[in-house]
Structure 1
Amino acid sequence: MNDNNLNTNENVAENAALVGHCAEVKSQPQSLTEQTPVAPTVITPGPVVVKVPVVLAETNITIPVEATIKLDKEALEIKRIRKNVYLNQSRLIPFSQDGQFGTGLLFISGFIRKNIEYATKTCSKYGSPNICGEIRHCTVEVPFNFTTRITFIRQPLFTPNFGPSELEFFNDKNKSCDACADPVIGRNVCDQSFFNVEFFNEKPFTELVRADIAEIDIHTDPYKNCKVPTEQLFTKLTEKIVVNLTLKVLQNQQVRVTALA
C-alpha cells in the first residue's frame, strides 16, 4: 500500500471521528390534533358570595444595596450579569402605633440572584496586547431587607381573639368540721366552667409585580499590566445597586357579586 492510500485512510478516519463528535439534530413533523369546545358548568344567575384576593395596598419602594463579590478566578472583563429578584419573607403589621389611621408596616426580605459571566486570561505573549482565555461564570445571592409604611386602599379584615370566660357556681352547703357552725356560703369549689373562642383570620400576603435594578460595578484592587495598560485582572468587585420594587399586598376576603345569565 502506497503513502497516498495511507494518507487517504487517515483522513477518512479523522473525518469520521470529527463527524462523530459533532452535534446532531433530528426533526420530526407533528400533526395537528383537533379539539372540541366544552361549555363550562356555571352557577345560576343571581347574588353570590365569593372568596377572592383583594388588593389592600400597592406600593413602589427604592432600596439601595452595596455588596462585595469575590470571584474564584482572576477576571479580565465582565461579559454579562443576569439578575433576578426573589422575596423570601413578607410580614405585615396591619396597624400603626403612632396613630396614623389606615396605615400598616410591611417587613420584606429577599435577595438578588446574580449570574456573572466573565473572561479569564489563560495565555498571552510577553509585550503583546493579544490575550486568550476562557469564559467562566459565578452565581451569587445578594441579600436585602427593608421596612416601609403602606397606606391601605382597603382595610384588612381581622377578628380579634378574646380571653377565656369563666363561670362560677353558687354553693351554700360547704360545712366545716364544727357541727355547730353555720354553713359557708359562696363559690362552689368543686365545679368550674370555661368558654373559649378562637378566630382564624386570613393572612395578608405580598406579590412582586415589577423589579428594576440599576448598578455600578467597581473593580477592587486590580492587577495592572504596565506593558498593556488597557488590560487589568481582578478577583473582587464592589457593586452599588439600586433596586426599585413594585409590590401588591393582598388578603383573601369574601365579596358579594352578582352572577349574570
Structure 2
Amino acid sequence: MPCPVEAKSLTPLSNERAKPCIIPPPATPILKVPVVLAETTIQIVVEADIPLNPPASEIKRVFKDVFMTQCKLVPVHFEEESCDDTVRTVTRAKLFIEGYIRKDIEYATTNCNDVLRDRIATVPFSGFADLADNDFLLFPILGDSSESRSRFINPQNSEIPRLDKFFFENSVFYNEQPYCELVSAKFFEVDFSPCPTDVDESFSILREKIVVDLTLKVLQIRQVRVTALGL
C-alpha cells in the first residue's frame, strides 16, 4: 500500500555573480589572524567498564566521538627576548588536555522480537604531551609583565632606609592565549564482557580497552605582515 507524503515544487530563483567592493590595502598589510603553532597527534589509552541496563546479549554497533573540555599550553623554556625586549619566544611547552569519548552503544537483549537498546556513555580522559623545538611550526610568543620598587634613604639618618616612602613601577602585557582545535580522531578498541557468556545469555557490564590517536592544532592569534599580490 503506498504511503504518500506532502510535497511541493519549488520555483527556481535567478542568481548572478556579485562583484565585491575591495579597498586596496597597503603593499604589505599587517593582519591579526590565527596562526598554526603546531599540529600534533596524541595517543590516548583508556580502559572503562560500562554498565548495561537491561543486560545485553549482543553488541550491534558502537559510534564514537571525542569532545575536548580543556587544552592548555604551559611554557617551560624560552629563547631570548625580542620586540624591544618585551616579548619572549617559547621553545618548549607542556600541552595539557582533558575531555571525554562519547560512545553510543546499540545492543540486543535476550527477549525475542525486542527493540534494539541504546546506551550513551561518556569515558573521561586527561593527560599531557611534550612539545619541543621540532614539534613547533611557529614558536608561541608571550609578552612580559614587570613590577619594580625603589627605596629611599632616610634624610635624617643616612645609615637607615625610609620605610614610609617607595616608588612603584609596573607594566602589564595582555597576551593572546594559545588554544586548540580538533582535527581528527582514529579509534582502536576491544569491547567485551568481563565474564564470558554463552550464546543467548546476557551480560550487564561491557568492558572496553580503547586507543585513540587524536590530532590537534595548536593556534594563537598573531599579527603577521603579508605581501599583497594581484592588486
**Aligned-pair distance for 1:64?**
1.3
Per the alignment, residue 142 of structure 2 pairs with: 158
Per the alignment, residue 86 of structure 1 pairs with: 67
Match of 1:204 among 178, 181, 194: 178
Structure 1 segments unaligned to the other structure (5+ residues): 1-18, 123-130, 173-183, 225-229
Secondary structure of 2:9's counterpart equals coil
- Distance (Å, rounded) in 2 between the aligned partners of 1:114 and 1:24: 36
Q: Quick check: 1:207–1:248 contact (8 Å CA) kept in 2?
A: yes
TM-score by length of 1: 0.73
**Aligned-pair distance for 1:164?**
3.6
- Distance (Å, rounded) in 2 between the aligned partners of 1:37 and 1:156: 41
Per the alignment, residue 146 of structure 1 pairs with: 127
Secondary structure of 2:171's counterpart equals coil
Secondary structure of 2:138's counterpart equals coil
Per the alignment, residue 33 of structure 1 pairs with: 13
Structure index of larger Rg? 1
- Distance (Å, rounded) in 2 between the aligned partners of 1:201 and 1:62: 30
Matched, 1:107 2:96: yes
Per the alignment, residue 190 of structure 2 pairs with: 216
Which structure 2 residues correspond to residues 188-199 of structure 1 after superposition, within 5 A? 192-199=166-173
The count of aligned residue pairs is 213
Matched, 1:243 2:212: yes
The one-character-per-residue Cα deviations of 1:145-174 (angstroms, maximum 9, x if unpaired) are 121111322111111111144475x885xx
The one-character-per-residue Cα deviations of 1:9-53 (angstroms, maximum 9, x if unpaired) are xxxxxxxxxx9xx97621111222223433223332411000111
The letter of the residue matching 1:37 is: R
TM-score by length of 2: 0.81
CA RMSD of aligned residues (A): 2.6
The one-character-per-residue Cα deviations of 1:103-125 (angstroms, maximum 9, x if unpaired) are 21111111110111111233xxx
The letter of the residue matching 1:256 is: R
Structure 2 segments unaligned to the other structure (5+ residues): 79-89
Identify the structure with the greater helix proportion.
1
Per the alignment, residue 48 of structure 1 pairs with: 29
The one-character-per-residue Cα deviations of 1:227-249 (angstroms, maximum 9, x if unpaired) are xxx32211111001010111111
Q: How many percent of aligned residue pairs carry the same amino acid?
A: 39
Q: Quick check: 1:76–1:121 contact (8 Å CA) kept in 2?
A: yes
Mean CA deviation greater in 54-63 or 104-113: 54-63
The letter of the residue matching 2:75 is: P
